[in-house]
Each structure stands twice: as structure tokens, then as C-alpha cells.
């Protein structure tokens, strides 16, 4: 959450940083700001709201070195004053992360004379670095003359000195007046550096540098960088210079091209067949010892949000195919429950971004308890891949819309193939999926149902087994992009309480892709109808569609068997959420209060 970008080179830093921020906006869009050095002074523009609001003021920023930020608010409401960059004395900072001990540091800095104008933890970081910089405080420099604050490295040393006092997570870029460059630090929040044709860049993730840097290096926890118009210098945790290998930037600027679509959400739903196809092809190149977990006596699937719903499906696949003992848990719950794991446990961590704090920390915990960890991720160089023993790739490509769509389809097929492989079974049937998916995306007519949902006071999603996992995801998607209240429930649970919510203003969407359980879910749908609730059915079962004709909105999908049909149904639910959001005038790409990569707790 929060995106940061920095540039030092021959170009106009304001333009470079602005365009990087636009590409990072999915990490947060509460406010945005840019600081640029004109060689003497650092000028700052910042504003509550979207990055584009800065455009009219970019002419106030001239110079070749700058840093910028797009915010997902943690400490302090979205406002101009809480927007980054934050300045303290000569020092200007952008921060992604959370400074957990900010209150304690703020008190001691205030006692020493620092003044604060915002409610943010990040301003405390600026004040701390400014204090260290003003002192010329250098615990790590053997040569006293280098302790001159005007020497370039003084900024880096001040950052390093301050960082020793920080608790929490941070990706930081720091400028100071009189120095044409900026210093970078990272701990638990991602940051990459890259060289372009016209200068040197730094950003929260690869898509921000798509088109400007063909190769990048992701800083590791505790590493530092100093970026000037002459280059990038990297340092280890003791500020000793280090050399690192840069790798090709996999992000493509084409991901930002809407290609004639109104929104990224619909564009990315339409890219699901390619995501599935590419994930199937990439499975053979999975890195690490996947088969090593065959010996596990217990499998725990972890994830957050949509990735958790994919994890639930992974559990169903593995249980059915390998008859293994499996569980699925929210990563954020798992990490705080003192889990019982042994070296014979296997954890399968599912995460699109590979940076979700709860999932990464849960995976680290599992490792320290001796379990083997497999990551299923769409981000091959992300933090989760450094933690995991093996990585199963999802090849959905860059996903810009905050709501996960094509990455979910990719996760489902990656988990399907993983389960089949662990069960010693082939999975050639999956080859039929991309075409079928393409047809469903084109033909599924959800317009009447979306109209019905847009008028509803609540939309509920119901199903059994795999269809229940889908119901949870369908409901999350609907809530996330439309803000309509609702939930996902097991169809059999309806009569145990949820039925009380039903009235003529509610819509209950039943997902029925498992022929063996169809009549059970149909009974629950009848119970809703008989209480005056509106019903919709997404099904591959012809008999069910016929039985509810004229009484419920039905969306029919092809039958690819009970384990792959859910992938088809998922795209119908995604389209439904998208269409409903559009009817209601919401922005499905950037739902209120949300951000794509949740790198804080």
C-alpha cells in the first residue's frame, strides 16, 4: 500500500515521477505528492485525492531529481497536510509502510524541539532523519571529514542512523537540500531500483518502471541505495558498498493500455483465458522442489481476500484428488494463533502480489516452525518467493484493477495442477479451459441480473463445497466494487440464520456447478423464493435452469466437470460485479478505501 517513485537524471523529474505515480496508483489513491530539487531548494506539491490532480502544478517543479508518493492512509485521514512528501528542516521523505513506534519517537523528537504539522507516522521519520542529518551524526564512518553533512553520503548515513531506531516496515526515499540525489532504505516494504536510458529510477514495484527501465533490482531488507544523476550505488546493512545482479523488468507498459475498454476490471476479466493458458504453460517451470511436499502429512493453504478464496479451492482440490489432510486459513488469523506445525507440515501460500504482509509473515512463521512452504504467486520476484522453498507461478500478467480477476482464475488453475501433481494424476483436461472461458466471458448475459443487483439492498451469494468457495469470492467482488452489503454463505446454512435477512429487496445468487449437489442448493433457492426474496442462479445444470425458468434470473455456463466449471462461474460473478458497479457509477478499478497490495497489517 502506498506507492513511491524516485528519479535522478537528465530529464524533468516532475514528469518522470508523475508518470510513475500514475502507474502505481493502484497501491493507494487517497492523496499524492511530488518533491523536486531545483539545485538549491526542494519544492513540493501535494494534494488530497488522485495523482492526476497534481498535473496542473507540475510546472512549479523544475529539476532532475525528485521523489513522489501516492497514499493509502494509515495514520491520519486523507488530507493535503497528511499527504507525502513530508519535510523536516532540510530533509524531505516519502514512505510506504508503518512506523510502529512513531508515538514514542515523536515524543522524544518534540522534546528536542521538532515541530509536526501532520498526523502521520511518516513525518516522524522525516524529523528523525533531519535530526541525525543536522547532527552530522555518523556512527558508521571512520573518517571524521566524511561526517560533514554537506558531503553526499551524509544523507545516507543519517538515514541509516535513524533507521536503527525504527520499528515497523518501510520503503523510504529521502532527499535533502543541497544534495542532488536521494537515499533509499527498505525493511519489509518493497522497493526496486532500475537504470533507464535517461536516468536512474526507484519505485515500489516493477509496473511503475515498465517502459522506463528494462532491468531492475529489488532491494532486500536492510539494504540501502544512493541514487544520483550519475548512477545507483547499493549498500548492505552496514553501509558497505555492494554489487548486485539486475534482472529483466517483466512488467510491460501494455498492461496500462486499456485497449479500448472502459476500465481495467473488464479488460482484465477478458484476459482471463490468456492468464489460464500461460499459467498452464508455466507450470512445468515451477521453481524448487514441489514434489518434496508429497511427504507432508498435513497441508495448510493460506491467503487473504481473493487469494484466501483461491486457497479454499486449493484445499478442496487437494482433499479430493490426493485424499490428503488439508486446511485453509486466512493468513492474518493463522499467524496470530500459535499454529501447530511440524517439519511434516506443508504450507501453500497464495498471493497475487507476493507482498501481502499477513501472507508473507505467516509463511515466514511456518518456516521457522519447520514447515515447507510453497508460494503460488503472480509476482516472481516478490517477497514471498524469497521465503518459499518452491514457487508455483501464476502467469496472469500485471493486474492493475484493485479487484483481483484474471489472477484469481490463474490461481485456481495453478492450485488445480498442483493438487493433481501431488496426487500423481495428469491434468490434460485443463487444455479445454481457456477456450471455454473465452466463450463464457463473451456470451454470459448478466445485464438483467446486474440491474436487479444495482437496485437491491443486499446481495447474497450461496453454494455448497466448491460453489461455497465461489460464493465467498462472488460476494467479495460485489461488495468491493459496488459497496452493496451482502455476504457469501454455504447454501445449507441459510436456514440457520441468514434467511432472516431475506426480503423483496434482496437478491440471492446461487452458484450450482456440482450436479451431485444441485438439488440441495435448489431447495435453498426455493426457500428464498417462498419468502419473497429475488433469486438468481449461475449453473451448468440444465435441469436446474429449466426448473427456475421464469422464477429466477438464470445464467447458464458449460459443464467442464465439477472442478473446472467453477473457473467459468468465477468470471460470470466478476462480470456481474463489474456491470453492477458501472450501473451504480462506481469506479471498479479503484474502490473507495482500498489498495491493491496490502503491505501493512
Q: Does 176 bind ligand AGP (CB under 6 A)?
A: no
Q: Does 190 bind ligand AGP (CB under 6 A)?
A: no
β pairing state of 213-218 and 168-176: unpaired
Q: How far is CA 578 from CA 110, 304, 521, in A?
A: 48, 21, 25
Q: Does 383 bind ligand AGP (CB under 6 A)?
A: no
Which residues, other chains included, contact 374 with Cβ-Cβ below 8 Å and sequence gap of 6+? 288, 290, 293, 346, 347, 348, 349, 388, 389, 390, 391, 392, 418
Sole binder of ligand AGP in the list 31, 82, 356, 398 (CB under 6 A): 356
**Nearest residue relative to ligand AGP (C-beta):** 305
The residue to which cell 522506463 is assigned: 212
**398-427 footprint of ligand AGP as x/- string (CB under 6 A):** ----xxx-----------------------
φ, ψ dihedrals at 248, nearest 5°: -60, 140
* 305 versus 314: smaller Cβ distance to ligand AGP: 305
Q: Does 599 bind ligand AGP (CB under 6 A)?
A: no
User: Which stretch, 219-227, 397-405, 414-422, 528-536, contacts ligand AGP (CB under 6 A)?
Assistant: 397-405
Burial (Cβ within 10 Å: 0-12, 13-18, ≥19) of residue 62: middle
Q: Does 74 bind ligand AGP (CB under 6 A)?
A: no
Sole binder of ligand AGP in the list 118, 189, 353, 508 (CB under 6 A): 353
* 402 versus 469: smaller Cβ distance to ligand AGP: 402
Q: Does 470 bind ligand AGP (CB under 6 A)?
A: no
Q: Does 390 bind ligand AGP (CB under 6 A)?
A: no
**266-305 footprint of ligand AGP as x/- string (CB under 6 A):** --------------------------------------xx
The minimum distance between CB 449 and ligand AGP, in angstroms, equals 20
CB atoms within 10 A of CB 478: 31
Sole binder of ligand AGP in the list 122, 169, 306, 554 (CB under 6 A): 306
The 3-state secondary structure of 122-138 reads HHHHHHHHHHHHHHCCC
* 120 versus 306: smaller Cβ distance to ligand AGP: 306
Cα angle for residues 70, 71, 74 (degrees, 5° grid):
165
Question: Do the Cβ atoms of 422 and 415 come closer than 8 Å?
Answer: no
3-state helix, strand, coil in the chain (%, to 5): 40, 25, 35
* 352 versus 409: smaller Cβ distance to ligand AGP: 352
Could you tell me how many residues of this chain bind ligand AGP (CB under 6 A)?
15
Question: Do the Cβ atoms of 302 and 334 come closer than 8 Å?
Answer: yes
Measuring CA to CA, which residue among 307, 316, 479, 494 is closest to residue 408? 307
Active site residue 596: yes
φ, ψ dihedrals at 216, nearest 5°: -140, 160
Sole binder of ligand AGP in the list 118, 204, 228, 359 (CB under 6 A): 359
Q: Which parts of this chain interact with ligand AGP (CB under 6 A)? A: 304-307, 351-353, 356, 359, 402-404, 480, 597-598
Q: What residues are annotated to the active site?
A: 2, 596
Amino acid at each position: 500500500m502506498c506507492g513511491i517513485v524516485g528519479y535522478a537524471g537528465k530529464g524533468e523529474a516532475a514528469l518522470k515521477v508523475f508518470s510513475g505515480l500514475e502507474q502505481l496508483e493502484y497501491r493507494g489513491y487517497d492523496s499524492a505528492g511530488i518533491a523536486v530539487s531545483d539545485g538549491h531548494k526542494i519544492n513540493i506539491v501535494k494534494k488530497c485525492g488522485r495523482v492526476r490532480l497534481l498535473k496542473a502544478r507540475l510546472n512549479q517543479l523544475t529539476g532532475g531529481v525528485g521523489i513522489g508518493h501516492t497514499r493509502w492512509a494509515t495514520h491520519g485521514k486523507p488530507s493535503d497536510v497528511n499527504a507525502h512528501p513530508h519535510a523536516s528542516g532540510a530533509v524531505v521523505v516519502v514512505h510506504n509502510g508503518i512506523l510502529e513506534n512513531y508515538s514514542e519517537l515523536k515524543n522524544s523528537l518534540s522534546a528536542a524541539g521538532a515541530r509536526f504539522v501532520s498526523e502521520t507516522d511518516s513525518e516522524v521519520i522525516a524529523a528523525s532523519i533531519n535530526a541525525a542529518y543536522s547532527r552530522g551524526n555518523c556512527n558508521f564512518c571512520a573518517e571524521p571529514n566524511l561526517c560533514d553533512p554537506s558531503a553526499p553520503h551524509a544523507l545516507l548515513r543519517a538515514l541509516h542512523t535513524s533507521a536503527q531506531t525504527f520499528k515497523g516496515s518501510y520503503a523510504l526515499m529521502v532527499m535533502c537540500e543541497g544534495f542532488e540525489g536521494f537515499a533509499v532504505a527498505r525493511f519489509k516494504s518493497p522497493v526496486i531500483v532500475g537504470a533507464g536510458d535517461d536516468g536512474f529510477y526507484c519505485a515500489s514495484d516493477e509496473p511503475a518502471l515498465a517502459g522506463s527501465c528494462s532491468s531492475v533490482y529489488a532491494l532486500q531488507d536492510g539494504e540501502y541505495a544512493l541514487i544520483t544523476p550519475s548512477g545507483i550505488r547499493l549498500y548492505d546493512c552496514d553501509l558497505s558498498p555492494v554489487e548486485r545482479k539486475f534482472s529483466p523488468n517483466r512488467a510491460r507498459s501494455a498492461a496500462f493500455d486499456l485497449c479500448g475498454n472502459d476500465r481495467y476490471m473488464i479488460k482484465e476479466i477478458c484476459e482471463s483465458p490468456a492468464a489460464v493458458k500461460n499459467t498452464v504453460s508455466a507450470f512445468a517451470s515451477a521453481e524448487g522442489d514441489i514434489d518434496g511436499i508429497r511427504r507432508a502429512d498435513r497441508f495448510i493453504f493460506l491467503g487473504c481476500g481473493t487469494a484466501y478464496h483461491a486457497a479454499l479451492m486449493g484445499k478442496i482440490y487437494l482433499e479430493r484428488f490426493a485424499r490428503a489432510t488439508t486446511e485453509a486459513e486466512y493468513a492474518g488469523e493463522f499467524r496470530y494463533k500459535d499454529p501447530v506445525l511440524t517439519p511434516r507440515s506443508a504450507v501453500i501460500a497464495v498471493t497475487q502480489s507476493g507482498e501481502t504482509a499477513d501472507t508473507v509473515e505467516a509463511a515466514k512463521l511456518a518456516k521457522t516452525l519447520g514447515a515447507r512452504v510453497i508460494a503460488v504467486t503472480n509476482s516472481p520476484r516478490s517477497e514471498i518467493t524469497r521465503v518459499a522453498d518452491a514457487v508455483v507461478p501464476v502467469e496472469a500478467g500485471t493486474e492493475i484493477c484493485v479487484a483481483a480477476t484474471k489472477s484469481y482464475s490463474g490461481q485456481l488453475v495453478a492450485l488445480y495442477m498442483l493438487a493433481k501433481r501431488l496426487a500423481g494424476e495428469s491434468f490434460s483436461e485443463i487444455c479445454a479451459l481457456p477456450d471455454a472461458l473465452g466463450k463464457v466471458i463473451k456470451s454470459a448475459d448478466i445485464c438483467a441480473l446486474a440491474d436487479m443487483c444495482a437496485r437491491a439492498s443486499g446481495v447474497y451469494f450461496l453454494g455448497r463445497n466448491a460453489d461455497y468457495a465461489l460464493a465467498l469470492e462472488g460476494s467479495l467482488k460485489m461488495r468491493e466494487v459496488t459497496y452493496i452489503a451482502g455476504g457469501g454463505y454455504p447454501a445449507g446454512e441459510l436456514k440457520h440464520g441468514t434467511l432472516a435477512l431475506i426480503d423483496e429487496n434482496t437478491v440471492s445468487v446461487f452458484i450450482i456447478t456440482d450436479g451431485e449437489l444441485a438439488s440441495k442448493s435448489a431447495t435453498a433457492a426455493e426457500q428464498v423464493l417462498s419468502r419473497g426474496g429475488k433469486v438468481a442462479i449461475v449453473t451448468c445444470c440444465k435441469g436446474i435452469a429449466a426448473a427456475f425458468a421464469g422464477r429466477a434470473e438464470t445464467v447458464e455456463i458449460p459443464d467442464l466437470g465439477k472442478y473446472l466449471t467453477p473457473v467459468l462461474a468465477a468470471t460470470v460473478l466478476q462480470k456481474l460485479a463489474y456491470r453492477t458497479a458501472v450501473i451504480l457509477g462506481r469506479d471498479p478499478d479503484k474502490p473507495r478505501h482500498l489498495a491493491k497490495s496490502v503491505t501493512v497489517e
